[in-house]
Chains A and B, each alone.
Chain A
Amino acid sequence: MAEELLKEEEIIIRNYRTSDYKATLKILRELQEQYNIGFVESKWRETSGLRQFKPNLKRITLIAELKKTGQVVSMGMLEAVKTNLGQYIGYLNNWATEKEFIGKGVGKILADRAIQILKSWGCEAVRINMAYIGEQKLIDIFGKVGFKPIITVLEKKFDAE
């Protein structure tokens, strides 16, 4: 397994560009099929992944690209949200990797960069939302870099009319 890991210098981590739309759409579709994350294709527009600023919220979509081929292999959104108590909490959302690159350490490289960015934005903590019946393996992976489960979120879906 270790020899299959991609090295940091083999990957470019950069901000999303509108030209990444198709590649990210493919990754998000796969994520939806696997975990039913509530992804609605019509809502993911070309501009959705751009750096976004609104009152009390900043968002970036990071892209991991193979240096050699330029292929988009992983993506992840990070958000800094100002709480009612005035603190900024960082969130990592929609973290997904192309099937053939899962287990090659791309997600970890991307997450490390995201955490650096959230820290520089003044976030006091970083949270990851993941499926409730998530794989223990994932929880263990995140546990190794300091993430502990602390809250349970309950959700009720409104039926689409």
Chain B
Amino acid sequence: MARPMGPVRLRRTNYVTLSIGAALCIFIIYFLTSPGGHSRSTTKHSSPIPKPSHKVRRDVQRFDLNKVTITNDPVGNKEKILILTPMARFYQEYWDNLVKLNYPHELITLGFILPKSKEGNAATTALQAQITKTQKGARPFRKVIIERQDFEPPLASQDESERHKLANQKDRRAAMSKARNSLLFTTLGPDTSWVLWLDADIVETPPTLIQDLASHNKDLIVPNCFQRYTDDSGKLAERAYDFNSWQDSNTAQELAATMGPEDLLLEGYEELPTYRTLMAYMELEDMNDVRAEVPLDGVGGTALLVKADVHRDGAMFPPFPFYHLIETEGFAKMARRLGWHATGLPNYKVYHYNE
């Protein structure tokens, strides 16, 4: 039966191919016409914690900021505190320490900002896992806000050596300032009394950190930031870590006077001998008096408690050289220009992660 098969088969599969073709066409047309809508719906479901559908309150909300108190007894006055952390890496020790803080958790709002990099994604996932666990637990925090941002210029490397090179400092700390400001000004809100800046690599603090710092009732207050390590002989020891808390010196002032407007006067670099009095190396008469206070001109941001009013007045972390200072040091200067003072607690220690 020499009979051509072609046309028969063609006709028989016609309906199927047609319908498949039609289906494909519909898909193609759909993707061509509405790429935005579809990608939005996929991203919406791909993140572990979906973006909340924006619920709008129609009523008129009134906030009387005259009634937001800032006192040395924050627990007694039920003062709300905002703990802000710019995060590039997640350390379990950080989270454990944070959860251990014994300030009433229902008064604590947590704010995190993470870069949109591979490292940032990993940190976000780890962080969200811990948040979910804690928020389902017995002592959930009042609110947790996670923000993601593209850092421009991107933080190329987070290695200790690379991170601390003088030339990289300006860009790195400018990006850091912007991250801090973004986090701060979107979360401050109308009812916060205190803002605690706590770096993601602070792994050990007294559980009473907030009460202890607030009891001094200072505008800006910084504990001393140390780092635990094992020395050559294998013993546990500690060393100073944060050199951004200092009292100004004449040498530094003179040095600053000779600089161009875009130059930075940084601390802890041999190229720039400033002879500032660093809180990290302060020799006090009584080494055990944890309540000893010293006035400061520059502050570090590893742990830093600030009255919310200081930020509300506009004091922020300058991402540009402000009196030759940047980030947290520039923040202290800007606060000073607005009439707020910085204080340090040389004997009150918090500990940084050892890399």
Check if A and B associate. Answer: no
